Amino acid sequence: MRTSRVFFVALSFTFLALRAANVPHILVTGKGQQGEMSQAFDVLDHEGKAHESYEKAEQKFLDAAARFSISSDEDNLHIKVVCPVPEGVEYAKGINPWEGDAIEVFIKPSEDRAEYFQYMINADNVKGAIRYNDVQMKDPSWTSKAELSLAKESRLFTVDMLIPKSELAGIDWKEGSSFKGNIIRHGNTAGGVSCWSRVSLNFFHDPARFGTFIIGSRCAYFKNELDKLLEANTPLPKELAEQAASLTDLIQQKGEQPTSFGELSIQLKNFKQKLISSASANMKTAIYDADVWGNRFAPNGPITPLKKITMQAPMNGRAVYPLAFSNLTGDKFMGQFKFLTTLSMKYLYEFGKMPFDDFFCRHITVSEAVPIQDLGGSLNYDVLIPLPLNTLIRCDAHATMPLFIEVDTHGLEPGIYKGLFYFKPSYIAFEQHETIDFELTVWDVDLNEVELDSFTYNNMVTGKKEHLAPERTKFLIDHEVNILNVIPGSQVTIMPEIDPQGNVLKIDFSSLDALIDHYVECGMPLRRIKMFIQTDARLMYPFVVRGQKKGMRGATLEGVLNPAWVKAYKVWLASLVKHLKEKHDMGYERFWIYPIDEPSGDPADPTTGAAHAIAMSKIIKSVDPNIQVFANPYDWKTNEQAKTTILGMGPHIDLMCPERSYVRNDEIVGYLHQIPSKVCTYIVLNNHTPPAVYRGLSWQNLRDGFEPLVPFWSIDSSSGFDGFDPRDTDRSGKNRYDYAATYIDWGYDKVLTSRRMVAWYQGFQDRKIAEVCRKYMKVLSGKGMDVSGYEKQIHDIAVKASKASLDEMEQCRLELMTLAVKLKEKAK
């Protein structure tokens, strides 16, 4: 007899046939209620041995799928997850709570708030909990008081979680209320990944796919949902009032039946759509405000058409206004959405012509957000494609499309600019023409008053002249990315040819010169160009020993850091410094040597990356102590390990850039402020990371007192052929992450941006505004004025913005601009 069957008999729960409902849901039972056991988890297909293939899970893992129950008392939410272990399968080890055989519980208390929680424990009893302000936006200040425990046997492990209700703010614990969540099991004993509510194989943080936890009563839940719809749509037409009465009767009859949950959910959804259609009966199309930074923006109730677009922006920057267009008919739509300074008969008769005096049109770009898909099938409206002619909207029947208006304020003086967007359908079925007033306030805050360095990881330019791509390079320049990512080896062939004794036989910097010249030709002033020069000889950027076969490239025959290698490296580095100064007038402040990627571990252990970074720094500084060294450490498990790595490396590094997710609390921030290095942070993200995370990076660095640099991996690194297909992989055949924040065709030299890239650049501009404030504070300080209060004001704004939504970040920007105007006036 299988252990799983023994378990269900022993617990004497009532197992309900919830899978038939086709909607993941379960009752949160209370005192005096019979407990309810969930449906068996879905065991997801796993990657096969063949490239880009999937295989079904073995039957033994389906038979041993996890189940859970959930209940509550006065103070706590109690979750019990039971995980049978198939015969012949051993537990996997896990150092972190999400590693090995692990259970991850996600709880999202409120649909109205982005906040959610993650509770984790593995079969080695390693535990953890994280609060997220938005998807993947960790709150490092939060500490859970939940009690997580594990009971482990050879063929079964059980997880118990006791979560205080007090830390799940936002849940209404009344009968019939609900909240969202998911439970995931993964590891050897799970057969890979299994989940209660189906998610993507490689992305669990997907609140749109969370199941529903219903408090106390399904019938009360459906009554509550129907009441919400009726309250928002009173009074009802007679036909809809009759349908509401019929739906009320149906809920009364079937509401408590688990097998009717899917049917009643569909009935509610259909009734909601009828309410929306009724409220917009005289509308065939609608343009309206919507949260199109996210992926759930279709009409959710009566539509309020947009009457006026109001934007505020600094000088010499860019501002964004998100909105949505809905086609409410069964016909396809095409029409124009065109900015005009004024509405005149001349413009109407010559609509497609660019009036000679309507210069402001050239400052506006309108783009449509187009969806990509993850492995779980969720749509993510990430790709931004400019409208044809910058005006033409094409929309399918009963469809909604997100739009982004971007205004470039370069060359605009402070003041108020007015105009309108004229909406003109092209198809006969759509007769209404509409106008939406437009007003832009350009503040007297000039972003050109400060210059900040900017870098993101990219491969968008190479050292081979035939591969240099002007459009890709101009995209970087347009986003003020002035630090080049110089990758030697096949891309920028600057590493020397040497003999086994370490004598340098050949040095050629011409490919680096071509790269610098290319940037200048594409519009980057030479004085602004800086570089990270990667020289990790242990991995991919070696010296070439004459006589070796190409496939045997190494540092020297004896490896790295031996006398011959050090001799050659010093000669090469001295030559590089001399060449940069003589050829490009590039001093020490404009380049960093990047001797190893992502060093980690105890610097006292010579086998660690941290020790290698220090050893390399000593060699570099022996050539010239003024040469700057860059390091991006990560992967410490505890604050004590962070302290060891940071304080050990700090004296040897000029710019330290730890991975942001490891700078998880104020204690670690404190260690980073103890070292002599300048500090910034980097982060690894992918194309399903919400845009708010990208914009928040700059606010987090401002909050923590770090440099403005906020690199991320990556602008252009996608697994497989492109960033659109979630199934293709890198050369390993396993990694499916598309990290890129742009969508590129390398051959045609074409670039599409994304919501994430737009958000990142908005964050960069937020930091520039803060530095404008500091520029005037420096003037006031020179006059003997105490500016500490203003610095605190900037910090307080950054603290608020670092855990805010995008709309809230925009309000924080306005606070910074208000302060900048005030300080500028005082500094006169």
DSSP 463-483: SSGGG--HHHHHHHHHTT--E
Number of CB atoms found within 10 A of residue 736's CB: 23
What are residue 288's DSSP bridge partners? Answer: 324
% of the chain with per-residue pLDDT over 90: 67
Q: Say if 175 falls within a structural domain.
A: yes
**Are 522 and 654 in a shared domain?**
yes
Task: Judge if the upstream peptide bond of residue 714 is cis by omega within 30 degrees of 0.
Answer: yes
**Are 550 and 674 in a shared domain?**
yes
Domain encompassing residue 254: 233-276
Domain count of the fold of the chain: 4
Token code pair at residue 243? 């349908």
Q: Say if 536 falls within a structural domain.
A: yes
Of 764, 798, 814, which residue is a domain's last?
A: 764
- Pairwise pLDDT comparison (422 vs 723), residue with the higher score: 422
- Pairwise pLDDT comparison (67 vs 46), residue with the higher score: 67
Distances in whole angstroms, Cα of residue 284 to Cα of each of 272, 275, 281, 347: 18, 15, 8, 25
Provide mean pLDDT across the span 200-208.
80
Q: What is the pTM of this model?
A: 0.88
pLDDT at 349: 55
Question: Is the four-CA dihedral 337, 286, 305, 693 of positive or negative sign?
Answer: negative
Chain position carrying tokens 């993507």: 200
SS3 358: coil
Whole-angstrom distance, CA of residue 300 vs CA of residue 66? 35
Q: Say if 806 falls within a structural domain.
A: no
Token code pair at residue 248? 């009320």
Start-to-end Cα distance in the chain: 86
Amino acid sitting at position 123: A
- Pairwise pLDDT comparison (679 vs 612), residue with the higher score: 679
Q: Say if 345 falls within a structural domain.
A: yes
**Are 371 and 484 in a shared domain?**
no
**Are 182 and 300 in a shared domain?**
no
**Are 170 and 316 in a shared domain?**
no
Chain position carrying tokens 């505020």: 312
Number of CB atoms found within 10 A of residue 346's CB: 11
| pLDDT band, very low/low/confident/very high, at 316 (cuts 50, 70, 90) | very high
**Are 207 and 332 in a shared domain?**
no
The mean predicted confidence, pLDDT, of the chain is: 89
- Pairwise pLDDT comparison (553 vs 131), residue with the higher score: 131
The CATH number of residue 307's host domain is 2.60.40.10
**Are 483 and 540 in a shared domain?**
yes
SS3 668: helix
Q: Which helix (H) or strand (E) holds 152?
A: strand 147-153
DSSP 419-443: EEEEEEE-STT----EEEEEEEEEE
Non-local (6+) Cβ contacts of 638 within 8 A are none
Q: Say if 791 falls within a structural domain.
A: no
Provide mean pLDDT across the span 80-102.
94
Whole-angstrom distance, CA of residue 797 vs CA of residue 791? 10
What are residue 67's DSSP bridge partners? Answer: 82
Q: Say if 221 falls within a structural domain.
A: no
Whole-angstrom distance, CA of residue 811 vs CA of residue 699? 13
- Pairwise pLDDT comparison (811 vs 560), residue with the higher score: 811
Q: Which of 372, 373, 368, 343 is nearest to 358 (CA)?
A: 343
Distances in whole angstroms, Cα of residue 669 to Cα of each of 676, 788, 796: 14, 21, 17
Amino acid sitting at position 531: M
CA angle 80, 82, 87 (to 5 degrees): 165
Q: Which of 178, 181, 239 is nearest to 206 (CA)?
A: 181
Whole-angstrom distance, CA of residue 571 vs CA of residue 569? 6
Q: Say if 778 falls within a structural domain.
A: no
pLDDT tens, position by position, 214-238: 999 999 999 999 998 888 777 888 9
Q: Say if 615 falls within a structural domain.
A: yes
pLDDT for residue 595 is more than 70: yes
Token code pair at residue 147? 């009690």
Residue 144: Cβ-neighbour burial (10 angstroms; 0-12, 13-18, 19+): middle
**Are 537 and 685 in a shared domain?**
yes
pLDDT at 582: 98
Buried b or exposed e, range 566-577, using 16+ CB within 10 angstroms:
bbbbbbbbeebb
Q: Which helix (H) or strand (E) holds 509?
A: none
Distances in whole angstroms, Cα of residue 666 to Cα of each of 59, 598, 707: 48, 22, 17
The CATH number of residue 658's host domain is 3.20.20.80
The CATH number of residue 190's host domain is 2.60.40.1190
Q: Which of 793, 801, 756 is nearest to 773 (CA)?
A: 793
Of 739, 764, 789, which residue is a domain's last?
A: 764
Highest mean pLDDT among 1-5, 462-466, 706-710 belongs to: 706-710
CA angle 484, 485, 488 (to 5 degrees): 125
Number of CB atoms found within 10 A of residue 617's CB: 23
**Are 508 and 538 in a shared domain?**
yes
**Are 162 and 79 in a shared domain?**
yes
**Are 409 and 495 in a shared domain?**
no
**Are 140 and 255 in a shared domain?**
no
Of 448, 481, 497, which residue is a domain's last?
A: 448
Token code pair at residue 295? 């992926």
